[in-house]
Amino acid sequence: MFYIGNHLSASKGYEAMGKQAVKLGGNVFAFFTRNPRGGKAKEIKEADVEKYLAYAEEHEFGKLVAHAPYTMNLCAAKEDIRNFSREMIADDMKRMEYTPGNYYNFHPGSHVGQGAEKGIEIIADALNSILTKEQSTTVLLETMAGKGTEMGRNFEELREIIDRVELKEKLGVCFDTCHVWDGGYDIVNDLDGVLTEFDHVIGLDRLCAVHFNDSMNDLGSHKDRHQKIGEGKIGLEAMKRVALHPVLAGKPFILETPNDDEGYAKEIAMIREWTS
Ligand code: FE
Ligand code: FE
Ligand code: ZN
């Protein structure tokens, strides 16, 4: 089964997202657990969740890839931002249990001048205080483009975070194609090599989901600007090889491309064409 979908608005609830995903041709989706800029989360309604779960089963959905607000920063220099980010993720962990067994993806953070070593330590400490044995959610660290002081700029940094976390079985990685490309991994000319490196450094068993994006910028630019599939510097053929790579088969592919609904429907149809 090929699982493809895009980021959907959570404002109307789970069932509405499920239906919207299917309307666009998808069988999985991503959503922000709360306003992407942070703040208070919307109340979860059990009746809505029940309807969604039945709908998802009927339509054979893949694992959801929820996304933490991207403004939070677990390794901020300011203690109040760190605490706020930690509390937000801890609260999201409880909310994720309404839909058990899915993924929760987050940007590891920016060390804002404290240095990568310190950043890794703070992120791992935070995860150690958040993760519980009982949770059914797998928390995904996203591969980042390395813009500014962004952490997760290479596989080694993610590995070092994972190494310091006690409940490693609750952790995975989300492979963002735009970010790894911008981070300097040449998935155009050497996709096999990049995946082999991922395997050596992190282990492919941790690669749980794919953010499927083309990039506006060159290899190693550390810019992080997503482009529509086939219209960027990664290009159609290379994106196709990613979608068809056996190592990534069966993982949820999430589009984060600059599109409206019509554009997403077109991209999803195109990718389905490749993979059918
Ligand atoms: Fe992200
Ligand atoms: Fe992403
Ligand atoms: Zn990005």
pLDDT digits (tens, 9 = 90+) for 69-107: 988 999 999 999 999 999 999 999 999 999 999 999 999
Report the alpha-carbon distance of residue 80 to residue 22 in Å, rounded: 40
pLDDT digits (tens, 9 = 90+) for 170-197: 999 999 999 999 999 999 999 999 999 9
* Alpha carbon of 142 to ligand 2 centroid (Å): 7
* Alpha carbon of 225 to ligand 3 centroid (Å): 6
pLDDT digits (tens, 9 = 90+) for 2-56: 999 999 999 999 999 999 999 999 999 999 998 877 778 889 999 999 999 999 9
Residue 256 a catalytic site member: yes
> What pLDDT does residue 62 have?
98
Residue 15 a catalytic site member: no
Residue 107 a catalytic site member: yes
**153, pLDDT greater than 90:** yes
**Catalytic entry in 58, 70, 163, 261:** 70
pLDDT digits (tens, 9 = 90+) for 220-262: 999 999 999 999 999 999 999 999 999 999 999 999 999 999 9
Domain residue extents for the chain: 3-275
Tell me if the pTM is above 0.95. Answer: yes
**154, pLDDT greater than 90:** yes
> For 100-128, what is the mean pLDDT?
97
**169, pLDDT greater than 90:** yes
**Catalytic entry in 160, 211, 214, 267:** 211
pLDDT digits (tens, 9 = 90+) for 129-141: 999 999 999 999 9
**276, pLDDT greater than 90:** no
* Alpha carbon of 65 to ligand 1 centroid (Å): 10
**Nearest CA-CA partner of 84 in 95, 73, 93, 94:** 73
**Catalytic entry in 15, 214, 224, 267:** 224
> What pLDDT does residue 41 have?
85
Residue 67 a catalytic site member: yes
> What pLDDT does residue 17 have?
98
> What pLDDT does residue 54 have?
98
Mean pLDDT across the chain: 97
Residue 222 a catalytic site member: no
DSSP string over 161-193: HHHH-S-GGGEEEEEEHHHHHHTT--TTT-HHH
Report the alpha-carbon distance of residue 206 to residue 170 in Å, rounded: 10
> For 149-160, what is the mean pLDDT?
98
List residues, by chain if needed, whose CB lies under 5 Å from ion ligand 2: 176, 211
Query: What CATH code is assigned to 3-275?
Result: 3.20.20.150
**198, pLDDT greater than 90:** yes
Report the alpha-carbon distance of residue 15 to residue 25 in Å, rounded: 16
> What pLDDT does residue 39 have?
74
Residue 142 a catalytic site member: yes
Report the alpha-carbon distance of residue 11 to residue 261 in Å, rounded: 16
Q: At what angle do helices 79-96 and 116-130 cross, to 10 degrees?
A: 40
* Alpha carbon of 211 to ligand 2 centroid (Å): 5
* Alpha carbon of 226 to ligand 3 centroid (Å): 6
Residues near 46 by Cβ (< 8 Å), separated by ≥ 6? 98
Residue 224 a catalytic site member: yes
> For 111-122, what is the mean pLDDT?
97
